[in-house]
Amino acid sequence: MGRLQGKVALVTGGSKGIGKAIVERFAQEGAKVVFTAIEKEAGDVLEKELIPNRLVFMQQDVSKKDDWERIIKATINKFGKINIIVNNAGIGVFSDIEKMDEKNWNSTIGVNLTGTMWGVKYGIKSMKNNHEKNSIINLCSVEGLIGDPDLLAYNASKGGVRLLTKSAALHCAREGYAIRINSVHPGYVNTPLVENLEKTDPKVKDHLVSLHPMGRLAEPSEVANMALFLASDESSFSTGSEFLVDGGYTAQ
């Protein structure tokens, strides 16, 4: 316990699934956390369940530059600084190249890639002069490493996040900033998204499980544990790197 004592974290998409698990894990390890989501009701409910005065919910559309400026300012006003940003918010809609439409493409790229870019940009701005050890963690996916014919926009967005991470990490190293930037690449995880897919087609979960040599899906807490390692000073010599939590998916 206490691996994040004295640190302030900002976690996007923090009201459910992987984001919620990260918020809870960071809080257990002593961090003060601002978590955001586009859905206000889910965030308000979670805020009441968690530790008062150390966990604060704020509504945010990560694809909007103005929202990022507002959230960064509000977080610093509340807790005095930011040491950790987890760009977790993301969306995914199934579509192949021939069925791709403008709405699917623009919304997926807007949230997953553009939203992450703003988070990294404003994260660096907020951290570079605080003279502490800081970490930006971009939640990517195995889909940022391999292709899927039915996840065109998602593949493109997550592949972009992977290389955005490396570019920004090299920039911070060159400038001498005490900011590390890494990406986390989960396989399929037991989240509300998978539960909803299973309601549509009961065979979906079995198929997803079969993709992982370990014979199961990841739990959100397992992804949160990787995020915790990268947020903590234990990962002090890791930057521009990709960390897999995929049960052997990409080892095949």
From the list 122, 154, 188, 249, the catalytic residue is: 154
**Catalytic site residue 177?**
no
Cα dihedral 155/156/161/164 (nearest 10): 150
Whether the CA torsion 106, 111, 113, 115 is positive or negative: it is positive
CA distances (Å), 39 to each of 57, 103, 208, in order? 11, 20, 27
Q: Which two tokens stand for residue 118?
A: 């703003």
**220 Cα distance to chain centroid:** 12
Contact partners, residue 86, CB within 8 Å, separation at least 6: 9, 10, 11, 12, 14, 19, 22, 136, 137, 139, 227, 231
CB 144 within 8 A of CB 162: yes
Contact partners, residue 77, CB within 8 Å, separation at least 6: none
CA distance 29 to 228: 9
H/E element holding 37?
Answer: strand 32-37
CA distances (Å), 104 to each of 33, 48, 101, 117, 146, in order? 31, 33, 6, 19, 20
Which residues carry out catalysis? 154
